[in-house]
């Protein structure tokens, strides 16, 4: 944050009244469906056009949702997850989930069901304090801009989401920043309305999770093929 940078009134008030709530989100799905693109779109407003298989990262990003300052910790998982134990540990760490598939890739759509059941299975075994509210799970169909390559219809996506009782979004990380924001905002609202916000503040100590690099929201990040600046609060205020 620069020194001449003024906080807007609503943001000041929200910080004063509530401080930051932190929400740990895991974004899951097969390789190349757009998990990193959606996460980076949400945090920086920019779209990453090139593909570079993800090395897992936890992004921290502060955003204003319904007048409340929320710090999202977003675990961008690697699509080519090798080890079932590793994925389970990541699922234990998270309090809320986004399962992404690409409308151009039917295999990634078929994977949604497996991931949804895995989340259920792992979280049903966790102690969650005084509420048994299950963790919110959103299903996101990405790449809707690629109409000519489409293999999964909107109705199919909607159908599986209804069957699994999950909110559903069809988006294009390429075309829309607002759609990426809407996904994260709804996740937070689902968490708040389910009563899971207070119940879920489990402490997670895990050697595996400690090893995953964390990117603070105001850091400037430069990866071998991707380079972008993370300055989320400033981004929010310049809207």
Ligand X SMILES: Nc1nc2c(ncn2[C@@H]2O[C@H](COP(=O)(O)OP(=O)(O)OP(=O)(O)O)[C@@H](O)[C@H]2O)c(=O)[nH]1
Residues in contact with ligand X by the rule CB under 6 A: 29, 31-37, 48-51, 53-54, 78-79, 142-143, 145-146, 172-174
Least gap, CB of 72 to ligand X (angstroms): 17
Least gap, CB of 162 to ligand X (angstroms): 23
Q: Which is nearer to ligand X, 111 or 235 (CB)?
A: 111
Q: Which is nearer to ligand X, 47 or 236 (CB)?
A: 47
Distance CA 181, CA 156 (A): 23
- The C-alpha torsion from 81 through 85 and 87 to 89, rounded to 10°, is -150
Q: Which is nearer to ligand X, 76 or 190 (CB)?
A: 76
The residue sitting closest to ligand X, measured at its beta carbon, is 79
- The C-alpha torsion from 225 through 144 and 166 to 233, rounded to 10°, is 50
Residues 199, 194, 161, 61, CA torsion sign: negative
Q: Which is nearer to ligand X, 172 or 196 (CB)?
A: 172
Distance CA 155, CA 65 (A): 29
Tokens of 146: 């690629």
Least gap, CB of 77 to ligand X (angstroms): 7
Least gap, CB of 129 to ligand X (angstroms): 32
Q: Which is nearer to ligand X, 150 or 174 (CB)?
A: 174
Which of 91, 86, 81, 120 is CA-nearest to residue 24? 91
Least gap, CB of 187 to ligand X (angstroms): 17
Half-sphere CA count of 221, side-chain side, radius 13 A: 21
DSSP string, 203-236: ----HHHHHS-EE-TT-EEE-SS-EEE--HHHHH
Least gap, CB of 140 to ligand X (angstroms): 10
Least gap, CB of 158 to ligand X (angstroms): 18
Q: Which is nearer to ligand X, 79 or 200 (CB)?
A: 79
Residue 129 Rama label (left phi>0; alpha psi -120 to 50; beta): left
Phi, psi of 26 (to 5 degrees): -110, 135
Q: Which is nearer to ligand X, 79 or 135 (CB)?
A: 79
């Amino acid at each position: 944050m620069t020194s001449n940078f003024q906080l807007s009134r609503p943001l000041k008030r929200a910080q004063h009244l509530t401080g930051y709530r932190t929400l740990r989100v895991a974004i899951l799905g097969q390789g190349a469906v757009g998990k990193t693109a959606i996460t980076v779109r949400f945090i920086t407003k920019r779209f990453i056009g090139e593909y570079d298989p993800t090395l897992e990262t936890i992004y921290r990003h502060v955003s204003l949702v319904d007048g409340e300052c929320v710090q999202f910790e977003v675990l961008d998982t690697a699509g080519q997850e090798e080890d079932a134990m590793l994925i389970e540990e990541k699922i234990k760490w998270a309090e809320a989930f986004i399962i992404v598939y690409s409308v151009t890739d039917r295999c990634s759509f078929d994977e949604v069901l497996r991931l949804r059941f895995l989340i259920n299975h792992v979280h049903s075994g966790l102690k969650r304090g005084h509420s048994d509210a299950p963790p919110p799970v959103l299903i996101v169909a990405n790449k809707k801009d690629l109409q000519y390559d489409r293999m999964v219809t909107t109705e199919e996506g909607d159908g599986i989401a209804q069957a699994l009782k999950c909110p559903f979004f069809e988006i294009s990380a390429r075309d829309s920043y607002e759609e990426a924001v809407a996904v994260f905002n709804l996740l937070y609202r689902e968490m708040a309305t389910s009563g899971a916000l207070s119940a879920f503040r489990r402490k997670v100590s895990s050697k595996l999770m400690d090893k995953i690099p964390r990117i603070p929201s105001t850091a400037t990040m430069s990866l071998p093929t991707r380079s972008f600046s993370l300055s989320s609060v400033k981004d929010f205020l310049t809207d």
